[in-house]
Structure 1
Amino acid sequence: MNNLRANYERILEVLRKISKDNLLAYQRRIPKLSDLELISLSLTSEYMGIDSENHLFRILPKFFAGKIERTVYNRRRRRLMSFTNMIRLQLSEIFNEFENYFIVDSMPLEVCKISRSTRSKVCKEEIFSFPDRGFCASQKMSFYGYKLHAVCSVNGVFQSIDLSAASVHDIHYLKDIQHQMSDCVLIGDKGYLSESIQLNLFETVNIHLDTPKRKNQKKYKPQFYVFKKKRKRIETLFSQLCDQFMIRRNYAKTFSGFKTRIISKITSLTVIQYINKVIFDRNINNIKISIV
């Protein structure tokens, strides 16, 4: 895992199968480091746990010498954010094309500690992107920042992701789901309990939302054992994002930078899953493993 160039070339090999080298329109000159090469370098650094750009440019091999500067790399990386997410969607489609069962959940993403929230300027350049204070019921803690909402397949491949302020309730994310998915079973926890939302999803896009009921509800019955077991798959994915990809460590100062980092980490995870399946034919969720 310590050979940065070998890992970079492996990831670039995968990306070239599904995308072209230059993704943006350049009016003057084509850059020495193509767009796809830049995305590959970004995904490689996330896979190897290098989340500091200063450190990345200190250890880059001579192969990259003179091709790009750190500030240009950071600026172009943010401009390529939508294309990075498009690559993630293309790879997830390969995995999830015939999937009928998905899991929905959310996780907290801290921007800073609550005690520093009033004087912190991180991600406050625009009113719409202001972080907020929220509460995570599963971890029983208050936090200041954002929520990562996600849908993954039962095999552990992210299908849909989104960011919201921490105070936004999980159930509001389901209103966006009906524009992205249809004809499937969606498994969630008690945070997604809503009879009106459940009925709307079923009538509009034929999504059956299955959530455990509270014990004091009428006609209570426990959630189907298999669904209860499969729901842990997304919790394991969140743990992998926190452990290897360090998704909760934030060095970004702007919301676009913050969002770019989140998308890069999840795309990197999806690329490694693709390499595990297509190239090595092994368990896709063995993330801490060599890809060369």
Structure 2
Amino acid sequence: MHRSDVRAQVPDSEVILIAVAAAKYFHNHHERAVCILRENGYLSGWIDVKRFNRRLHKLADWLAFIATTLGKLGLSGEVFVIDSLPVPVCRRVRARCCKKVLGRDYCGYCAAKKEKFFGWRLHLICTPSGLPVNFHMEPAAFHDLTPLHELAVVLPPGARLFGDKAYNCAADEASILAETEVRLIPARRANMQPHEWFLDEIELREYRHTIETVNSQCEKMGLERLYARTNGGFELKALASIIAWPVRT
């Protein structure tokens, strides 16, 4: 059982709550969230922004644990949707000056927006209701298929995993089916043969809008405009955003 320091005026649970509230309602702006929640009496005691940041970094493992635990709640279904979205570290013109990440591995391209970006790519598996069940962050230049096996291994046997055209690969479809009994069903390209089972095409049209809605929510929450001085702080804000996604207003 986790216990907060007896000298702390604000318990650790409220520190995590501030981070999640900042992701949901304040575009991951921690200083603004701390001030508003504190001045309006939502916290049990006093805490300033510097102390909040130090304590939040110490609770990084708990943020990851909460995000993973929430994902396990949605693993009982049979239908899941996978997609990736850009998480830039800085503007591309400033990539050479960036000290958080370096190299061409972090120079990526977003086909949906037809633009280049510098940073990370968040790979996400969701339920049809929009609950994130598994996630992974890779350098932006890595292909969408890179973390696919690692993400799909947690899904229940017999599940169907729908994706966009980036996930077309006969070898990966066969290996995932053999290893995990999960059927990967990506949208076929125009020059490819359609799926043998006609219901796959119908379900693709039905469930693909789910991940697009989640991506739109992330953009509104500011996930594509995160600011952090360190990679640890960047990861904390990404985890808080994943926890905040299932929260409905």
Deviation at 1:206, TM superposition (A): 0.5
CA–CA distance in structure 2, aligned partners of residues 150 and 161 of structure 1: 4
1:117 counterpart residue number: 95
Query: Which secondary structure state, in structure 1, belongs to the residue aligned with residue 244 of structure 2?
Result: helix
Deviation at 1:182, TM superposition (A): 3.4
1:167 counterpart residue number: 141
- Shift in alpha-carbon separation, 1:77–1:206, aligned structure 2, 3 A: same
1:198 counterpart residue number: 173
2:188 to 209, 213, 220: 213
**Could you report, residue by residue, the CA deviation over 1:52-101 in whole angstroms, capped at 9, with x for unpaired residues?**
2332343322744863332221122122122123223333333x142111
1:86 counterpart residue number: 65
1:281 counterpart residue number: none
Which segment drifts farther, 137-146 or 66-75? 66-75
1:263 counterpart residue number: 239
Unpaired stretches in structure 1, ≥5 consecutive residues: 1-19, 273-286
CA–CA distance in structure 2, aligned partners of residues 69 and 240 of structure 1: 29
Matches within 5 A, 1:139-154: 139-154=113-128
Deviation at 1:140, TM superposition (A): 1.2
Once the two structures are aligned, what percentage of the paired residues are identical? 23
- Shift in alpha-carbon separation, 1:203–1:43, aligned structure 2, 3 A: same
**Could you report, residue by residue, the CA deviation over 1:212-256 in whole angstroms, capped at 9, with x for unpaired residues?**
222323x4458512222211101101101111x111122201111
Letter in 2 for 1:266: I
Deviation at 1:149, TM superposition (A): 0.5
CA–CA distance in structure 1, aligned partners of residues 227 and 153 of structure 2: 32
TM (norm. structure 1) is: 0.75
CA–CA distance in structure 2, aligned partners of residues 261 and 50 of structure 1: 10
Letter in 2 for 1:171: L
1:71 counterpart residue number: 50
Unpaired stretches in structure 2, ≥5 consecutive residues: none
2:217 to 230, 240, 247: 240
CA contact (8 A) 1:47 1:265 kept: yes
CA–CA distance in structure 2, aligned partners of residues 66 and 225 of structure 1: 53
Query: Which secondary structure state, in structure 2, belongs to the residue aligned with residue 71 of structure 1?
Result: helix
Query: Which secondary structure state, in structure 2, belongs to the residue aligned with residue 117 of structure 1?
Result: helix
Deviation at 1:120, TM superposition (A): 2.3
Deviation at 1:134, TM superposition (A): 0.7
CA–CA distance in structure 2, aligned partners of residues 211 and 247 of structure 1: 25
CA contact (8 A) 2:9 2:44 kept: no
CA–CA distance in structure 2, aligned partners of residues 115 and 86 of structure 1: 35
CA–CA distance in structure 2, aligned partners of residues 251 and 132 of structure 1: 16
1:138 counterpart residue number: 112
2:17 to 28, 40, 45: 40
Deviation at 1:177, TM superposition (A): 1.9
**Could you report, residue by residue, the CA deviation over 1:146-189 in whole angstroms, capped at 9, with x for unpaired residues?**
10100001111110111111101000111212442231111011
CA–CA distance in structure 1, aligned partners of residues 105 and 144 of structure 2: 16
Deviation at 1:113, TM superposition (A): 1.6
Deviation at 1:139, TM superposition (A): 1.4
Report how many aligned residue pairs link the two structures.
243
Deviation at 1:21, TM superposition (A): 5.8
